[in-house]
């Protein structure tokens, strides 16, 4: 994963969100913002919409996600609201390549969703399923709203479908964690291993939701 490219894209997304929807970007209250209570797509009419209900490995509903095409900007708005049960802090978040949230092994749940969404014809840069991390407050709740142009809604509905997964830890975007650094400039310093490159060391899959297209 290439950190610089992702950070630049994320900052651009944040800037656009702050410019268009300051109330949502500044959300610190206990209740879900009015914009997120509206049906998916209500704020950005003219495009398709999709949504997902996030559940943890015990089957508890722990959040919701909305995906809305903004036909004016040729982009997709994404909103995620976590309703509780999450540890405070940042949590990695991705769209995965299969619409299957079967729990399977409860110690390693949701592996049926496969890896991060990365179409065969997308050969460079981050997987298109890479999303910004969501921050959870001390009460276990979190909310994030952003816009991106790395995928279209149609790409979420291939033969296998897709799912959104929230992980138990932050995503380091393939940077090596601080406790694995050696002396700076050391040619023998460790590089991101396969796990770091594939997952960003974001930990286990805490919650999963199959993405479904909303009916207009």
DSSP calls for 71-113: TTTTEEEEEEEEES-PPSEEEEEEEESS------STTSTTGGG
C-beta of residue 150 within 8 angstroms of C-beta of residue 1 = no
Task: Give the model confidence (pLDDT) of 13-61 as tens digits.
Answer: 443 333 333 333 333 344 554 444 444 444 444 568 999 999 999 999 9
Task: Specify the higher pLDDT residue, 84 or 44.
Answer: 84
Collapse the DSSP code of 138 into the 3-class scheme (helix H, G, I; strand E, B; otherwise coil) and give the result. Answer: coil
Distance CA 133, CA 169 (A): 9
- What integer pLDDT is reported at residue 162 of this predicted model? 95
Mean pLDDT rounded to a whole number for the chain: 73
Task: Give the model confidence (pLDDT) of 149-198 as tens digits.
Answer: 888 899 999 999 999 999 886 666 555 555 555 555 565 655 555 554 44
Length of the chain: 216
This prediction's pTM: 0.68
- What integer pLDDT is reported at residue 84 of this predicted model? 78
Using a pLDDT cut of 70, give the percent of the chain over it.
57
DSSP strand pairing (89-96 vs 130-136)? antiparallel
- What integer pLDDT is reported at residue 139 of this predicted model? 92
Name the architecture of domain 3-27+46-177+191-213. Sandwich (2.60)
Domain locations in the chain as residue ranges: 3-27+46-177+191-213
C-beta of residue 212 within 8 angstroms of C-beta of residue 184 = no
């Amino acid at each position: 994963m290439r950190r610089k490219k992702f950070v630049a894209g994320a900052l651009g997304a944040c800037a656009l969100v702050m410019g268009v929807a300051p109330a949502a970007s500044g959300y610190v209250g206990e209740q879900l913002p009015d914009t997120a209570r509206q049906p998916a797509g209500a704020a950005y009419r003219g495009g398709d919409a999709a949504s997902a209900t996030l559940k943890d490995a015990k089957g508890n509903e722990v959040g919701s996600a909305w995906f809305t095409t903004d036909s004016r900007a040729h982009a997709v708005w994404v909103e995620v609201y976590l309703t509780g049960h999450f540890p405070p802090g940042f949590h990695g978040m991705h769209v995965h390549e299969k619409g299957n949230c079967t729990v399977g092994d409860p110690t390693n749940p949701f592996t049926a969703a496969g890896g991060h969404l990365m179409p065969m014809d997308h050969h460079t840069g981050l997987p298109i399923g890479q999303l910004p991390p969501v921050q959870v407050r001390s009460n276990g709740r979190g909310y994030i709203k952003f816009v991106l142009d790395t995928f279209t809604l149609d790409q979420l509905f291939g033969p296998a479908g897709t799912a959104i997964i929230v992980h138990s830890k932050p995503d380091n975007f393939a940077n090596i964690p601080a406790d694995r650094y050696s002396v700076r400039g050391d040619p023998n310093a460790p590089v991101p291993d396969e796990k770091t490159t594939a997952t960003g060391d974001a930990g286990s899959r805490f919650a999963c939701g199959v993405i479904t297209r909303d009916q207009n």
